[in-house]
Amino acid sequence: MADRILLKTTIPPSADDWCSARFSLLRAHLAGLTAPDGSPLYDVVARDRHADRDGDDPDLLALPTSDTAELWLFAVEVGGGLSAADCAAIRAFRVRGGGCMVTRDHQDMGASVLGLGDLGAAHFFHQRHREPDPDRWRVDDTGTPAISWPNYHSGRNGDPQEIRAEEPVHDLLRRADGRVIRWLPAHPHEGAVGVPPGAPHARLVATGTSKITGRRFNIAVAFDRSRDCAGRAVAQSTFHHFADYNWEPARGCPSFVGEPCGDGMEVNPEARRDVEAWVSNLARWLRPA
């Protein structure tokens, strides 16, 4: 039977925002992955946030006892996003073996993930839980003055960025053909992630380089299973690694996005293959034991 993957945003449905509909290429790729006998590996469900009368999301509250195998959470809110009960349910889901991919973006976008224990602590923000190095409390992307740090500039939306697989190379970065993944979608202002203190089961797996300052920044942190938590998890610096607009800019973006886009993902087919390999690897690696 196919494993269920829940793609979930932290905002209500909105045609002019980063709602679940803007991750349709990701959903289609995951749903198209098959076993050797041709059967689908994953049953993929994409949903936006829906709050009940208590302000909690029923999809998230149900996770610990549901048949969902993986939660891919896109924290795209600029305030609120996850309730205390939502966070408790996600933590319980991981403890019982569910896999989680949690991503956000620049500055304080998605800060509600800080309620997710060690997985939340892997994300750094502007107003609270900042990067440990004060030297990084400064603007990296200077092209969008309204957005403050952390905002690492890896390139234009629609272009690929060349990443570095940290040694030893993690399984998440290995393609089926034996090559190491080299490209992921770029974004003008990525957020900040890192290995939280006291998490020996976590490690940095990939880094990028700012095209403005040349500074290296973290892209993904992987959490393996531990004595206290049966589920694996990945913290990622920006949801733009997964958005339709960053894979195929012609798909469009919300009206508040004003930065110029590129076409590098379209003219570099190897980059698209790398992105799809990264997504496939995430789904496989996060599957419950």
Task: Render pLDDT for 211-261 as a digit per residue (tens, 0 to 9).
Answer: 999 999 999 999 999 999 999 999 999 999 999 999 999 999 999 999 999
Note the pTM of the prediction, 2 decimals.
0.98
How distant, in Å, are the alpha carbons of 16, 183, 240, 249 from that of 22?
10, 21, 10, 11
Please work out, in degrees rounded to the nearest 5, the angle formed at the alpha carbon of residue 162 by the alpha carbons of 134 and 109: 45
Write down the pLDDT at residue 134.
98
CA 46 – CA 30 distance, rounded (Å)? 11
The whole-number average pLDDT for the span 143-171 is 97
Number of domains in the chain: 1
The residue segments making up the domain with residue 217 are 3-286
Write down the pLDDT at residue 132.
97
Single-letter amino acid code for the residue at 232: R
Query: Could you tell me what percent of the chain has a pLDDT over 70?
Result: 100
* pLDDT tens digits, 20-40: 999 999 999 999 999 999 999
Burial 235-269 (b: 16+ CB within 10 A, else e): bbbbbbbbbbbbbebeeebeeeeebebbebbeeee
**Where residue 130 falls among pLDDT bands split at 50, 70, 90?**
very high
Domain of 207: which CATH number?
Answer: 3.40.50.880
Peptide bond into 150 cis (omega under 30): yes
| Assigned token pair, 250 | 């012609």
Write down the pLDDT at residue 79.
83
Residue with tokens 């698209």: 272
Query: Could you tell me what percent of the chain has a pLDDT over 90?
Result: 99
* pLDDT tens digits, 57-73: 999 999 999 999 999 99
Q: Are 80 and 43 in contact (CB under 8 A)?
A: no
* pLDDT tens digits, 257-276: 999 999 999 999 999 999 99
Report the 3 state secondary structure along the chain: CCEEEEEEECCCCCCCCCCHHHHHHHHHHHHCCECCCCCECEEEEEECCCCCCCCCCHHHHCHHHCCEEEEEEECCCCCCCCCHHHHHHHHHHHHCCCEEEEECCCCCCCHHHHHCCHHHHCEECCCCCCCCCHHHCCCCCCCCCCCCCCCECCCCCCCEEECEECCCCCHHHECCCCCECCEEECCCCECEECCCCCCCCEEEEEEEECCCCCCEEEEEEEECCCCCCCCCEEEECCHHHCCHHHHCHHHCCCCCCCCCCCCHHHHCHHHHHHHHHHHHHHHHHHCCC
Residues forming a β-bridge with 103: 74, 236
